[in-house]
Amino acid sequence: MAKYDPLREHLARLDEVVWAAKLDDLETILGSNLPMSAREHRTWWANSGGSLVHQNAWLDAGWRVDHTDLKRDLVVFRRLRIGGTSLAQAPRRAETDAPKSSEAPPADAARLAQAMTALRESVSITIRAEWTAIGALADVACSSQLLPAEPGVYRLTRLRDGLVFTCIVDSRDLAGFHAALRRSFKGMDQQDTAPEAVGGVRLIDRLGIEPGTACEIDILRPGNAWILSDGRGRGADLAKSQERELVARLLAIQERQSGRGGRLLRW
């Protein structure tokens, strides 16, 4: 095994998009010391490739060096593509297995094959959201004008074991959900026939909160969410259930990655 193969294999196994590594961690992965030039010169961490075997280790794995901070012995890698070189490493079919044809492929097939090169590039889909603060759950009445009777995303935030914990709700009716939550908060959905109870489970139980818990409310209204794909974006149409669900799921993932739980509920 070549010296930098362990680094390539380590990067290929990572699920992250960005990986910050200390130089000592890299030496542990390699099982040997980095050269002094790696600790003294940023150019060692360039992404030129070619005959530079150490750079090919991360480039072949589908990563690049995003930036370095050699004063802190830190290198930050960023993923170039999903899956590294798994396609290149997969065993190729023997030519005898390929379908034999004496005719050239149709023009449509050739155009499709050309188009697939671009379609198989990695894609980054994110959202931008501007939350509107509503206030404390116990203080915001069911009839509050702050909550519109329209689709949107509702966020309930509380403390759990001293840590901030959030619930994200994909709601077809923000005002209706808030009224249902307030009734459940007051113990008015004890009966299985109450619309807030699903299969006899109270709404507050589905959200994992206890009556009287201090909770803060934020909402995401139509016009305050954008879907971004590779840096280009458009406003999310929260009236469309599929787009609202996408926004809510991405927000829940962001909450989880930030260590706030991010429980997701559709209502």
Asked whether the predicted pLDDT for residue 20 surpasses 60, the reply is yes
Rounded average pLDDT over 11-31: 89
Rounded average pLDDT over 245-252: 94
90 occurs within a structural domain: no
Could you tell me if 76 and 131 lie in one domain?
Answer: no
Rounded average pLDDT over 114-118: 80
Could you tell me if 156 and 40 lie in one domain?
Answer: no
217 occurs within a structural domain: yes
Could you tell me if 70 and 134 lie in one domain?
Answer: no
Could you tell me if 45 and 175 lie in one domain?
Answer: no
Residues 217, 154 contacting (CB under 8 angstroms): yes
Whole-number Å distance between alpha carbons of 43 and 147: 55
91 occurs within a structural domain: no
Whole-number Å distance between alpha carbons of 40 and 241: 53
226 occurs within a structural domain: yes
Domain boundary among 19, 54, 85: 85
Could you tell me if 239 and 160 lie in one domain?
Answer: yes
Could you tell me if 131 and 72 lie in one domain?
Answer: no
Residues 64, 86 contacting (CB under 8 angstroms): no
Residues 75, 23 contacting (CB under 8 angstroms): yes
Could you tell me if 81 and 186 lie in one domain?
Answer: no
Q: Which of 30-34, 69-73, 135-139, 192-196 has the least mean pLDDT? A: 192-196
109 occurs within a structural domain: no
Could you tell me if 142 and 252 lie in one domain?
Answer: yes
94 occurs within a structural domain: no
Residue 2: the pLDDT is 86
Domain boundary among 85, 106, 141: 85
Could you tell me if 131 and 55 lie in one domain?
Answer: no
Q: What is the 3-state secondary structure (H, E, C) of 28-53?
A: HHHCCCCCHHHHHCHHHHCCCCCCCH
Provide the β-strand partners of residue 76: 20, 67
Could you tell me if 65 and 13 lie in one domain?
Answer: yes
- What percentage of the chain has pLDDT greater than the value 90? 50
For residues 194 and 146, which has the higher predicted lDDT (pLDDT)?
A: 146
Asked whether the predicted pLDDT for residue 91 surpasses 50, the reply is no
Asked whether the predicted pLDDT for residue 239 surpasses 90, the reply is yes
What's the number of domains the chain is made of?
2
Domain boundary among 85, 115, 146: 85
Could you tell me if 142 and 262 lie in one domain?
Answer: yes
Residue 174: the pLDDT is 95
| Residue 81: domain span | 5-85
99 occurs within a structural domain: no
pLDDT in tens, 124-151: 788 889 999 999 999 999 888 999 999 9
Could you tell me if 81 and 170 lie in one domain?
Answer: no
Rounded average pLDDT over 75-91: 60
Q: At what angle do helices 23-30 and 5-13 cross, to 10 degrees?
A: 110
pTM of the entire structure?
Answer: 0.58
249 occurs within a structural domain: yes
